[in-house]
């Protein structure tokens, strides 16, 4: 299992929202270069630590593969982990997820499902490779 960290950040006082310090799209004259953030191999499992460094709520949403929520703020979930494609992250929180890149190869995105955050840069591409 490969482990990755994904940081959700914003620029205080400005409408710029970042994933791992990068804007996905140009906004208010700030250029961006949407490039692939992660390139997992097909038929592998990865565990991601989603870290909300922001004072705002974010709704993490990923396309193609469902995710399994493992823990929130260091506390394992009781009972069976559950599968979702969107989860809510409280301000200054950490959520650990697990996912399997089963059979799809190619590019897709993950982003904050709060549309103003997504529209102002909080999105990234994944490219699943063979």
pLDDT in tens, 95-113: 999 999 999 999 999 999 9
pLDDT tens, residue by residue, 78-95: 887 778 999 999 999 999
Pairing verdict, β 2-10 and 44-52: parallel
Measure Cα distances from 61 to 13, 28, 86, 112 in Å. 25, 24, 4, 6
Residues in a beta bridge with 88: 59
State pTM to two decimals: 0.92
């Amino acid at each position: 299992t490969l482990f990755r960290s994904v940081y959700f950040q914003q620029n205080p006082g400005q409408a710029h929202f970042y994933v791992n310090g990068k804007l996905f799209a140009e906004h208010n004259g700030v250029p961006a270069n949407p490039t692939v953030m992660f390139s997992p191999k097909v038929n592998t499992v990865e565990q991601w630590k989603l870290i909300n460094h922001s004072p705002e709520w974010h709704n993490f949403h990923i396309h193609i593969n469902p995710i399994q929520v493992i823990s929130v703020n260091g506390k394992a979930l009781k009972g069976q982990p559950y599968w979702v494609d969107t989860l809510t992250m409280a301000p200054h929180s950490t959520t650990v997820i697990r996912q399997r890149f089963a059979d799809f190869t190619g590019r897709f995105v993950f982003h904050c499902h709060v549309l103003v955050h997504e529209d102002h840069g909080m999105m990234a591409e994944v490219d699943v490779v063979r």
